[in-house]
Chain A
Amino acid sequence: METLLILGSLVGLLLLRVPVAFAMGALGAVLLWLKGLPLIALPQRLFGTMDSFELLAVPLFLLMSNVLLKGGVGRDLFASVQAWVGHWPGGLGVATIMSCTLFSAISGSSVATAATIGTVAIPEMKQRGYDEPFILGQLAAGGTLGILIPPSIPLIIYGVITETSIPTLFLAGIGPGLLMASIFIVYAMFYSRMGAAAPLEKANWNERARATFYALPTVVLALAIIGSIYAGIATPSESAGVGFVIAIMMTFLMGRMNWTKLKEAVEDSLKTTAMIFIIVAGAKVFSYAITLYLIPQTISGYLINNISDPTMFILAVGLVLLIIGFFLESLSMMLIMVPVLFPALQAMNIDPIWFGIFFVVLIEAALITPPVGLNLFVIQAVGKARLESVVQGAWPFALMMLGMAALLWFWQDLALFIPYKLF
């Protein structure tokens, strides 16, 4: 009863438009007070949450991707991939997904990936006569690759709250990320066979070389970031810091950066960083309070007593996350649900690294399902389209993501092979 009352109060506050961070923080404070516990824990928790070097990877990766975004890197990537695959069936669709995949390797955010590639790809695809819902849905879904392919901000947050290794989580995201991108590419080619726009003319070697030359620095930067983490040269935060500085130098040297753009990049990054950080801080207060009320333990006990089969357990968790994902923003979903579910995972011997990837795939589906799907809104804004068109184009991709979540359960090595057997 107590558990239902607390979760109901949280939902009530969220429906009354209280920002997620403060709904969790204020409810956490009231719960502490009701139990007669010292509220001095509040500032201590808030301070402790931010006093973390691991968390620094979030603002630094955001700074790097915003600098690259302002430097027009999305245009380079798209032009380069288009020169190589534009003549394939559904060539621009393929180029869009490949560009999203490449940008995902330097950006940890799905919204940034969707916005960056969307700005370039949407006008181009429209001009070539592609079906509008397909274009928009593909961009909304392609953007979500940004949080599965490393670096990934949700995986950093997951690593911080569950105390699992962030580099291992990054490695585990590679296999499912690349497979998902491949599925999207096959879908784009299949869709084009059913009457979408004609492919582009094949680019000659000069055009390909020129386009690749401009995109090469970004690809090298992406490889350097991931390489430096796994070679043990730098932590994810340090790698993000170095990537940020290189991104500034690179864009200045290419003549794509000026003081105004840099200022915009720095200020835009701040909004996202502070928005993420305050939710993490609010969630820390909330999860501390509900742990003292034994809520995660109660829910875990209930799940373990009623569902003994891990497959059924994951199915139940998947369904709950799917439903919550319709209404809750993705990061909030992670910060509310992971502390609640984590004890049950441990009791069921479910690998926390695997679960992190499974959770992110479900977050991806949540990002493109209405009524609350951040990528839908971003693509609606970038493409100046109706929300219905974006939703219409996005739902086949949401189904593919759910298929991927199921595949992950039956073929766990898809995520775990690279971190556990290859490294």
Chain B
Amino acid sequence: MASLIQSYVRVMDQVSEVTGKIAAWMFFTTGIIVSFEVFMRYVLNSPTIWVDEVSRIFQVWAAYLAIAYVLKHKAHIIIDITFRNPNALNRKLADSFAMLVIIFFCLITVNYGLIIWWKSTLAGHTTDSYLAVPKVFVQSAIWVGFGIMALQSLAEIIKIWTWDPQDLPKQTLVH
């Protein structure tokens, strides 16, 4: 049982790592296509019809695909002035509570996100643009991203209670 639980943690860590890397390169690609648009508009006098919408779709996907990766790397902002001893029981309880709050929020979002997505899928909705991208693809970013986040949060709870506190990643200062 214990090894099964740890396997779950390993799998989730891997999933979050992969989705995070995908998200990172989606932002990279967005940077390239946005500058391509400027080049097309000013140098070739031929603006594109797809860059604005594709970059927004990429942004929605990348932002929500990355949240579990950021949780795994402890880079979400917290107010780190209480329960500062990582070995203390009250710290473990507070951190577990924080993860439960995240899971609560994610599950509500996944539930209602799926409802919207399913309705759009059945109705065959598309975006109101020239590209008419199917919403089945666009709206799934919400429930996929928050679904992975809920699963990663569960893995974090397991880490809090089964791992040595020294092995847990420290809060990251990001720039």
Contacts and interface: CB of A to CB of B under 8 A. Distances in A.
A268 B173 CA distance: 10
Among A16, A55, A327: residue with most chain B CB under 10 A: A16
Contact of A266 (B25, B73, B108, B175): B25
Contact of A50 (B64, B80, B112): B64
A365 interface: no
Interface string B19-49: 0110111011011111101100010000000
Count class of interface residues, chain B? 35 or more
Given A111-B174, A278-B70, A372-B79, A273 B112 contact: no
B174 A268 contact: yes
A19 B78 contact: yes
B28 A63 contact: yes
A191 interface: no
Contacts of A266: 24-25, 27-28
B131 interface: no
B79 A14 contact: yes
B101 interface: yes
Contact of A329 (B33, B37, B67, B79): B79
B116 interface: yes
A275 B59 contact: no
Nearest to A33: B108
Contacts of A275: 70, 75-77, 174
Contacts of A234: 38
A52 interface: yes
B173 A53 contact: no
Contacts of A274: 20, 23, 62-63, 66-67, 69-70, 75
A18 B94 CA distance: 8
A238 B59 contact: no
Contact of B173 (A40, A281, A374): A374
Given A40-B116, A56-B55, A238 B38 contact: yes
Nearest to B39: A242
Interface residues of A, number: 69
B56 interface: yes
B54 to A, nearest CB: 11
A247 to B, nearest CB: 10
B14 interface: no
A241 B98 contact: no
Given A43-B142, A47-B60, A237-B34, A19 B102 contact: yes
Nearest to A40: B112
Interface string A223-243: 000000000011001101110
Contact of A19 (B25, B34, B42, B76): B76
B7 interface: no
A51 B109 contact: no
Nearest to A146: B175
B59 A327 contact: no
Nearest to A44: B116
A22 interface: yes
A377 interface: yes
Given A43-B113, A59-B59, A233 B42 contact: yes
A18 B77 contact: no
A277 interface: yes
Given A238-B35, A270-B24, A371-B81, A51 B56 contact: yes
A270 B82 CA distance: 28
B38 to A, nearest CB: 5
Among A66, A267, A270: residue with most chain B CB under 10 A: A270
Contact of B21 (A47, A267, A328): A267
Interface stretch (A23-31, A342-350, A387-395): A23-31
Given A17-B98, A270-B27, A50 B63 contact: yes
Contacts of B173: 111, 374, 377-378, 381
A39 B112 contact: yes
The 7 A-B residue pairs whose C-beta atoms are closest, nearest first, are A241-B34, A274-B66, A19-B76, A43-B113, A270-B24, A111-B175, A112-B175
Given A19-B102, A274-B69, 20 more contacts: A17-B98, A19-B71, A19-B78, A21-B76, A47-B141, A50-B59, A51-B59, A59-B30, A60-B31, A109-B175, A233-B38, A241-B31, A266-B24, A271-B70, A271-B174, A273-B62, A274-B23, A275-B75, A275-B77, A378-B175
8 contacts: A17-B94, A18-B78, A18-B97, A25-B105, A42-B113, A53-B56, A233-B42, A272-B174
Interface of B: 20-21, 23-25, 27-28, 30-35, 37-38, 42, 52, 55-56, 59-60, 62-64, 66-67, 69-71, 73, 75-83, 94-95, 97-98, 101-102, 104-105, 108-109, 112-113, 115-116, 139, 141-143, 146, 172-175
